[in-house]
Chains A and B, each alone.
Chain A
Amino acid sequence: MSKRLDVLKTYKIYINGQFVRSESGHYLTLTNKSGEQLANICRSTRKDFRQAMVAARGAQGGWSGKTAYNRGQILYRMAEILEGRRAQFIHELSLEGASAKKAEAEVDAAIDRLVYFAGWCDKYQQIFSSVNPVQSAHFNFSTPEPTGVVSIIAEEKSSLIGLVSMIAPVIAGGNTCVVLAGQRNAMSACSFTEVIHSSDVPSGVINVLTGLKSELISHMSSHMDINAIFYTDSDTDSKKLIQENASLNIKRVVFEETDDWMDERHENPYIILDFQEIKTTWHPVSV
């Protein structure tokens, strides 16, 4: 007669290496297609975003200062930990509505993508650097450097693979980020922060918020300390707003639309280059 009550998880957001609740104390309910409640997620506010931003800025110097090789190791470690928790993610993705087969394929693709970008960490510099011919007695070379702190606004239809495909190239290039997870897939996004937490990623490098895009998009694109914005939805109004806000202090804006994050075109080093600044050095040489 005693039927057990389900313990539904309230997923926390992830700021500066800590799992916290939104300062607002507000929550959203996640339901599956048939309307059953799955979990609660935090409804983050601009103040949560501001805190995350401070953390991301604080972590930027340390992360970009790590050796490229070490960054690669850390990304690879994320893949390892994700592999170890495959079953959990497959379960969560199926709760969110994916078929078992699709869920499995998606988790595998996410792991592979982390490995892919882990490999690029210490290689994109060689590909994108150049030695430039100049007329004076200078050794002139250009190298990529991380842009800084990136706002990542994950789109609604993407799930784990979309999230990983957006975060990996950004951090592989030495940037830090504040991510707003899509509402529908907030569950797997929050679980992914547990993977981040247990895989040597320094605090503040990846911060993940959940909540309503409509409430946060303006702050995530106008904050003067943000250096770049990564956005993949297709709605024109949001894009216009982002571009206008970005013009305040000339942030880098990267739009990328896709129907299928599993597609191979999301595995290429040019996505890393999107979040790099090219620095050119003139070094005097005697003839």
Chain B
Amino acid sequence: MEVLNKIPDFRDTVPIDTVGVLERVSRLNKRSIKKESKMDALKMALSMCDLTTLEGMDTPGKVRQLCYKAQHPHESIPDIPSVAAVCVYPNLVRTAKESLKGSNINVAAVATYFPSGNGTLESRIEEVKYAVNEGADEIDMVISRGAFLRGEYNFTFDEVAATKEACGDVHLKVILETGELETLENVRKASDISMYAGADFIKTSTGKVSPAATQPVTLVMLEAIRDFYYKTGIKIGMKPAGGIRDSKTAIQYLVLVKETLGIDWLNPDLFRFGASSLANDLLMQIVKQQTGVYQSADYFSKD
């Protein structure tokens, strides 16, 4: 397709109306979710979680524990989905892969000098190849925000394209780190560049910068995905990450997705939550729905 693999023409992009975006988000947040739909929404959100551990102090033991949790989120509840993926640093991919053998949970690796992205392009590509070799099913790359903010859009385009090439068949998620992009206009531009350069997913944040995922930013990215789909027929996935801690917020995100992209995107292949504490809150809400009793974190495993 000829529009692909070249930098998008920003003259075609509708300018972002910040007030309008905020207004739409707040209106969608007021949707009331009825009890019957709530249970389905909670389970759906759980199946879309990427359980994440990205600390300097991560150990193989902790990753194994996380992988166990990914497969058996809460053993006392029957018919509960497992999460979508486990997200770790490249050096722990092998451990995660072994622990998840036999399940259909993916292993995602953050690469390209996560979280800053400040490294030479060669060394960043090297890291991606290493992670792919170790068995990662998905690569989460970061863009160089410095270059992007300087207006070097070609640089951003090239780094995403080069990373995609290194990934081969492995899914590529591009982290825009929207907390550092300053304006919604920039978020839209970065989303477009990433998608045209070959991203399979676009992702808001590393989780290391505040603010992380916010709903206005997510809405802008979802609209970029929608416009890209209209133009090319290709469905790109979306992953808000960081700062989503409770079920209520998660369900609000699902509403945003449904209203912007439609039902097709409401599945783990096209929508993910990057969060470490969300899964437990979802579990607590599921048990609350089943028993009618508010739950305590004391009775849920801490990853």
Contacts and interface: CB of A to CB of B under 8 A. Distances in A.
Interface string A216-239: 000100111100000000000000
Interface residues of A, number: 10
B295 interface: yes
A101 B83 CA distance: 65
A223 B294 contact: yes
A50 interface: yes
A46 B292 CA distance: 11
B297 interface: yes
Contacts of A225: 294-298
Interface string B286-300: 000000111111110
Contact of A50 (B292, B294, B297, B298): B294
Interface of B is mostly: loop
A219 B299 CA distance: 18
Contacts of B295: 224-225
Contacts of B299: 224, 249
A248 interface: yes
Contacts of A46: 294
Interface of B: 292-299
B267 to A, nearest CB: 30
B85 to A, nearest CB: 29
A233 to B, nearest CB: 22
B198 to A, nearest CB: 43
Nearest to A223: B294
A222 B297 contact: no
A239 B138 CA distance: 55
Interface of A: 46, 50, 53, 219, 222-225, 248-249
24 contacts: A46-B294, A50-B294, A53-B294, A219-B294, A222-B292, A222-B293, A222-B294, A223-B293, A223-B294, A223-B296, A224-B293, A224-B294, A224-B295, A224-B296, A224-B298, A224-B299, A225-B294, A225-B295, A225-B296, A225-B297, A225-B298, A248-B293, A249-B296, A249-B299
Contacts of A222: 292-294
Contacts of A248: 293
Nearest to A221: B293
A39 B297 CA distance: 38
A102 to B, nearest CB: 39
Contacts of B294: 46, 50, 53, 219, 222-225
B302 to A, nearest CB: 15
A170 B297 CA distance: 22
Contacts of A224: 293-296, 298-299
Which of B293, B295, B297 has most A Cβ within 10 Å? Answer: B293
A249 B295 CA distance: 10
Contacts of B296: 223-225, 249
A-B pairs, top 4 by smallest CB distance, nearest first, are A225-B296, A224-B296, A223-B294, A222-B293
Contacts of B297: 225
A137 B292 CA distance: 49
Given A222-B292, A224-B295, A225-B294, 17 more contacts: A46-B294, A50-B294, A53-B294, A219-B294, A222-B293, A222-B294, A223-B293, A223-B294, A223-B296, A224-B294, A224-B296, A224-B298, A224-B299, A225-B297, A248-B293, A249-B296, A249-B299
A20 to B, nearest CB: 17
